């Protein structure tokens, strides 16, 4: 009986201590996905990527048009070779011309494939670098807020668990400081890190491999 009373007394004393610790623990929440979407630099990065995609599509279309034109020329030569009135010398010359074009069009096929693969990889890498730079900027602003307010814990409201459910099931509205983060990020004249602002767009995707630079 005495042991049970002592345990009950210990628990009663522990509860106020735990409640006090909980009340003094400064917890914040931020929606990283919202901050990413509403940051003006994200929109600028998306515009740059779209411009790069459009430029790549135009160059690919130009190469495809040249390929189609070369294919039409080969088909036209084949028709000429089938003409019964064509002399033997002319047929030999036309056959050589056709074979040369066939060899050339095979090179074009290879170059088009290499261009597409190289450009897709470069666009993916460029988009990843831009995203990583922007996320780092947002994280730095969040950490400045955390340090300024002496927060012990900060949760990402947009984070999802492996089961596909929100990691943070519930939080009070007064713990969220996402709007403050977005305001700081979009403040005119704010100095930004070089990790995202120094991104160099890919203007010559076919520079590597060298074969892909041929028209």
pLDDT in tens, 37-69: 999 999 999 999 999 999 999 999 999 999 999
Residues 162-175 pLDDT 10s = 888 888 888 888 88
Mean pLDDT of 2-26: 51
Q: Using the predicted structure, report yes or no on whether residue 8 has a pLDDT greater than 70.
A: no
Q: Using the predicted structure, report yes or no on whether residue 210 has a pLDDT greater than 50.
A: no
Q: Label residue 194 by pLDDT band (50, 70, 90).
A: very low
Question: How confident is the prediction for the chain on average, in pLDDT?
Answer: 81
Report helix, strand or coil for 166.
strand
CA distance 171 to 73: 69
Tokens of 144: 């400045």
Q: Using the predicted structure, report yes or no on whether residue 146 has a pLDDT greater than 80.
A: yes
194 closest CA partner among 133, 111, 116, 129: 133
Query: Could you tell me if 98 and 74 are in contact, meaning their C-beta atoms sit under 8 angstroms apart?
Result: yes
C-alpha pair distances (Å), 195 with each of 116, 174, 182, 199, 200: 27, 32, 19, 7, 11
Q: Label residue 109 by pLDDT band (50, 70, 90).
A: very high
- At residue 94, the pLDDT reads 85
- At residue 170, the pLDDT reads 83
How many CB atoms neighbour CB 133 within 10 A?
20
Q: At how many degrees (to 10) do helices 88-148 and 178-185 cross?
A: 120
- At residue 197, the pLDDT reads 43
Q: Label residue 85 by pLDDT band (50, 70, 90).
A: confident
The span from the first CA to the last CA of the chain, in angstroms, equals 93
Report helix, strand or coil for 215.
coil
């Amino acid at each position: 009986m005495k042991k049970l009373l002592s345990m009950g007394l210990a628990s009663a004393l522990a509860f106020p201590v735990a409640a006090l610790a909980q009340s003094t623990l400064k917890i914040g929440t931020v929606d990283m996905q919202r901050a990413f979407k509403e940051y003006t630099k994200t929109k600028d990065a998306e515009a740059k990527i779209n411009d790069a995609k459009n430029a790549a599509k135009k160059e690919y279309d130009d190469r495809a048009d040249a390929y189609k034109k070369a294919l039409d020329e080969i088909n036209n030569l084949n028709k000429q070779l089938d003409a019964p009135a064509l002399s033997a010398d002319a047929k030999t010359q036309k056959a050589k011309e056709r074979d040369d074009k066939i060899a050339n069009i095979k090179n074009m096929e290879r170059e088009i494939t290499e261009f597409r693969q190289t450009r897709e990889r470069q666009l993916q890498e460029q988009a990843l670098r831009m995203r990583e730079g922007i996320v780092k900027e947002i994280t730095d602003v969040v950490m400045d807020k955390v340090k300024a307010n002496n927060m012990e814990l900060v949760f990402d409201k947009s984070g999802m668990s492996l089961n596909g459910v929100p990691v943070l099931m519930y939080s009070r509205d007064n713990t969220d400081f996402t709007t403050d983060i977005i305001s700081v990020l979009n403040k005119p004249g704010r100095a930004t890190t070089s990790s995202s602002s120094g991104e160099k767009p890919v203007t010559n995707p076919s520079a590597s491999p060298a074969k892909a630079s041929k028209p």
